[in-house]
Amino acid sequence: MPMRLCLFPALRAGSVALLLAATPALAASVSADPVAARAKMTTAAPGGPSARIASEREASLPSMNELIALALDNDAGLRSRRLDGESVAQEVPMARSRLLPRLEGSASYRVSDADNIYTDNPQDYPDEVYDDRISGRTNDTSWRLRLTQPLFDLERSRQLGKARAQADAATLEVAVAERDLAMTVIETYLDAYRASRRVGLLMAQRESLTLQQRQAQRAFDLGLGDRINLLESQSRLDQAIADQTAAENALSIAITDLERLTGVTPMFTPRLIEPSETVTPEEETRSLETLLAESGDNADVLLAAQRERVTRQETDIRGAARYPRLDFVVDYSDLQSNDALRTSRDLSAGVELNVALYQGGYTTASIRQGELTALAGAANLDNERRLAQQEVRRRLKGIQGDRRQLEALERSIVSGALFVDAAVRGESLGLRDLVDVLDARAAVYDLRIRYVDTLCDYLANRAALAAATGSLDTPAVTRLMRTLDTLEQRTREPATVVTAGTAVSTRR
């Protein structure tokens, strides 16, 4: 790790420069063994990082693919969407059933008291034959079976096509919800990673500034330094503490969001990041025209297209209301009555034709409404296509800009490290003061934080571009993780934070 070799000894050298002048024994130990000298000085300093946990187990980053899989299984909103999709899918067998034979059965018991020709003229009919009928009171028990088979029903046929289109739309709605959930997990993951690495960098900066502040205090006490340097070092230390607190809060919020999404608590241990030329974000090889063509596979575009087909199917169904309906009907009935002349068994078969001749203009208005709805669906489809293409353009520009920024930041970090080394040497020779060293060191830490932020922005743009072109899948997420893993392999030294006289180290 060439950058660490040139950066951290330089940072330490500036921290002990004034103390070396006051402690000759320590100066001799530094010249003989700089690492041992730093250990002595750290132990001697009250509240220094003497409790560094160097044996902490290294851990890898949480798997983004595993977290996405957990979120897809854990999210209640997505589960509700899936159940809604399964519910809508039942429209298909329901619509198909309207084209299949329908068998209906009914039974009844009826008691009636009627006035008719028999009750009004009982003298004309012999009592032994018409006794029950002359009384006008009958008790009837009947049952009936009716079989109906549609022969031609354009409206119901088109309803089956609409049901299939609705089922496909429900499936796409689930796909959109899954993609949105995956994007939420990826963005939250990158927020947690960004915050954890920011905390790691700020931990190291705070440790360095703590040592620098003690140096300035010691030099001031010995009359070797001035109050301006002391106040400057204290101000920088307070700012680092405030920045670290904010970063820790951001990390806590991101982990809480991941816990809500996935049902588990992933661990993002703060760590110091070493940018390197070996971490080269891949360039987008596909042309803009190719990406724009692939935006047609965007889940939102596919869903809008399917919904537009549903509206057209609905318009066709409304237009079919003008066509006749032809049914084949078989009817069987059995009537049992106390009036023997009413008892009967009937079996009939025939064809029924039904035509809606006039409904007060309802059919015309319904068809017009369906046409307008279909036009609205077409406009929405066009809008989704434009949005997808704009998203592709925006994310592609973001990827290209992020890559250029990362390359520039890598060069800036190397230059900044050299400037820190020069500032430390200048301070030791009396050509620079502590403020110059603090400025140089703060600039390097800021550059490293910006590097991590830009890398996370790059990965977020990568994921969003994959989502915009309908290619956000496991291999795409794996490529994102490969970039982070390559960067993580650069760092082995734990970041340390000094709080209330206790040092807490973090190693991955």
**pLDDT: is 502 or 144 the higher one?**
144
Q: Which pair of structure tokens corresponds to residue 486? A: 């390559």
- Across the strands, what pairs with 148? 102, 329
Contact call for residues 129 and 302 (beta carbons, < 8 A): no
Res. 42: pLDDT tops 70:
no
Give the burial string for 261-293 (b: 16+ CB within 10 Å, else e): bbeeebebbbbbbbbbeebebeebeeeeeebbe
Average pLDDT of the segment spanning 446-461: 91
Say yes or no: do domains 59-82+166-305+382-491 and 100-152+327-355 share a fold. Answer: no
Contacts with 247 (C-beta within 8 Å, 6 or more apart), sequence order: 195, 198, 199, 202
Using 50, 70 and 90 to split pLDDT, how confident is the model at 203? confident
**Which range, 225-229, 406-410, 503-507, is most confident?**
406-410
Using 50, 70 and 90 to split pLDDT, how confident is the model at 235? confident
Res. 379: pLDDT tops 90:
yes
Average pLDDT of the segment spanning 306-324: 91
Contact call for residues 177 and 141 (beta carbons, < 8 A): no
Domain boundaries defined on the chain: 59-82+166-305+382-491, 100-152+327-355
**pLDDT: is 251 or 492 the higher one?**
251
Res. 273: pLDDT tops 80:
no
Class of the 100-152+327-355 domain? mainly beta
Class of the 59-82+166-305+382-491 domain? mainly alpha
Q: Which pair of structure tokens corresponds to residue 191? A: 């927020």
Contacts with 255 (C-beta within 8 Å, 6 or more apart), sequence order: 192, 265, 266, 268
Please provide the distance, in angstroms rounded to a whole number, between the alpha carbons at the two ends of the chain: 16
Q: What angle do CA 291, 297, 300 make, to 5 degrees?
A: 115
Contacts with 475 (C-beta within 8 Å, 6 or more apart), sequence order: none
Res. 104: pLDDT tops 80:
yes
Using 50, 70 and 90 to split pLDDT, how confident is the model at 240? confident
Distance CA 184, CA 78 (A): 13
Using 50, 70 and 90 to split pLDDT, how confident is the model at 50? very low
Which pLDDT score, from 0 to 100, does residue 16 have?
29
Give the burial string for 339-377 (b: 16+ CB within 10 Å, else e): beeeeeeeeeeeeeeeeeeeeeeebeebbeebbebbeeb
Which residue type, as a one-letter code, is found at position 411? R
Average pLDDT of the segment spanning 327-335: 93
Largest Cα separation within the chain, whole Å, is 147
The dihedral sign for the CA sequence 147, 152, 154, 160 = positive
Which pLDDT score, from 0 to 100, does residue 212 have?
74
Res. 388: pLDDT tops 80:
yes
Q: What angle do CA 193, 404, 411 make, to 5 degrees?
A: 85
Which pLDDT score, from 0 to 100, does residue 61 have?
86
Share of the chain above pLDDT 70, in %: 80
Res. 254: pLDDT tops 60:
yes
